[in-house]
Amino acid sequence: MLRLHTTRARLATMVLALALVLASAAAVLLAPTAPQAVAAETSAEQKPTYKAQEGPTFNTAIGDQSSRRAILDLILQTIRHTSPKGQIKIMTWNFMNAGAADALIQRAQKGTTVRVLIDANNNDEDTDNPSFRRLKKGLKATNGKNEKGATKSFARMCRGSCRGKSGAAHTKMFLFDKVGLSRNVLIQGSANLTTAAAANQWNEVYTYVGRDKIYDFAEGIFDQMWRDKPTKNAYRAFEGNRYSLYFSPYYGKYFEEDPVQAMMDRIRCKGARKAGNANGRTIVRSAPDVIRGKRGMIAARRLKTLWDQGCDVRIAYTVMGRDVKKHLNGGGGRGPVPMKHLVQDFDGDGDFDNYFHLKVLTINGRIGADRTAYVTFNGSANTSDPSSRSDEQIGKLVGKRNTLAYQRFIDRWFENPPPNAGRRADADPNIDPYQHVDMD
């Protein structure tokens, strides 16, 4: 009996030891299971580590995926890291991206307040926009029965300018008050929240982080847009030492002159020091996307004058009025202004597939008495008449680093145009090359 009991005890001990080994092995094998992943995600949600980075971001219409999606991924990443207690406010002329709709609905489901505005022409009977319709429905569903403290998330449209009496809702800005460890993140530039902005356009945006005054100013303008009523004094300006922001329409007691064209009047072509080119000439780079109409001709005359006065001028454009092009190509002075038509007929069928969508002006050299000036204008406004009537934002960035970044980006594509740039001589004349291009 003693031997039998001892044997049973040994067997029990061996079974227990084996069970412990198997349990330990199972724990190792099952380490990355869903419950633990959820716990890690919850911990990350409670202790954010993400930091927004200030500065410019550019994307290209050709190249690898990261180059094409640089801006889209920046915006999606910022959305996904916005706090459940935070707010997202987006004004984009067009919203047409399934991934963005998913990300915004998911944020709203977690508690983030989400508000999105677009131009009504991009979701009407002539435009199939399932992404925006799904976003609108999905955000509304997150509001529940609107009990006390419920999140109020919506997507809306403006018929024409939100703050004006005509024009379009053409602003492109993205506001996030709590993003990971960052606060008051404002992204603004030329890019809409669309797939086309990443797949078919060259774009730029500038990200401001923790700049409370300019953020509050932009948020105040957004809140006016959200009401979708004409504003008495629509033109508003925030002037800072390094960063300024302007909003059209161009009317009201605060409007005196176009800030971009006014700055161009102050450019001096000679006498730059520690700026400009090797000969001390001011460098001007204009990437207007669209330059036409009365406003386009005003800019064209200034650019031609600057070229004739000795400035180092280059123009990279998508749409140019015939009279504007004739003036810029005119004789006298130094002759035609250097220009590049930065569109791409990728497959050679006569229809432009990809195009420069920037609305940028850079000045590197002398402005008035300042012989070491570095100034960049970016934003949503084309150099055309509708821009003065529409909701538009124009940013002004003062400083060498940012200006050179924008200047180099324009020069890169000016000097190395994409394959099949411009329209082929043998293209079908019955095909409208601009049928898939945002003309204003």
Confidence (pLDDT) at 371:
98
| Whole-number Cα distances in Å, 198 to 116, 122, 188, 228, 434 | 19, 18, 15, 28, 18
Confidence (pLDDT) at 1:
39
303: burial class by Cβ within 10 Å (0-12, 13-18, 19+)? buried
Confidence (pLDDT) at 7:
38
Confidence (pLDDT) at 5:
39
- Cβ 356 vs Cβ 331: under 8 Å: no
Query: pLDDT digits over 27-70, tens only?
Result: 333 333 333 334 344 444 568 899 999 999 999 999 999 999 99
Query: pLDDT digits over 137-149, tens only?
Result: 999 999 976 555 5
Confidence band, pLDDT 50/70/90 cuts, at residue 401: very high
- The verdict on whether omega for the bond into residue 249 sits within 30 degrees of 0, i.e. cis, is yes
The two three-digit tokens of residue 207, written as one number: 């990200």
- Cβ 82 vs Cβ 179: under 8 Å: yes
Query: pLDDT digits over 62-119, tens only?
Result: 999 999 999 999 999 999 999 999 999 999 999 999 999 999 999 999 999 999 999 9
- Cβ 248 vs Cβ 381: under 8 Å: yes
Write b or e for each residue in 192-210: b if 16 or more Cβ atoms lie within 10 A of its Cβ, otherwise e: bbbbbbbebbbbbbbbbbe
Q: What percent of the chain has pLDDT over 90?
A: 80
**Pick from 182, 210, 211, 150: nearest CA to 81:** 182
**Pick from 260, 117, 89: nearest CA to 177:** 89
Write b or e for each residue in 263-273: b if 16 or more Cβ atoms lie within 10 A of its Cβ, otherwise e: bbeebbbeebe
- Cβ 112 vs Cβ 86: under 8 Å: yes
Give the residue with greater pLDDT, 19 vs 269: 269
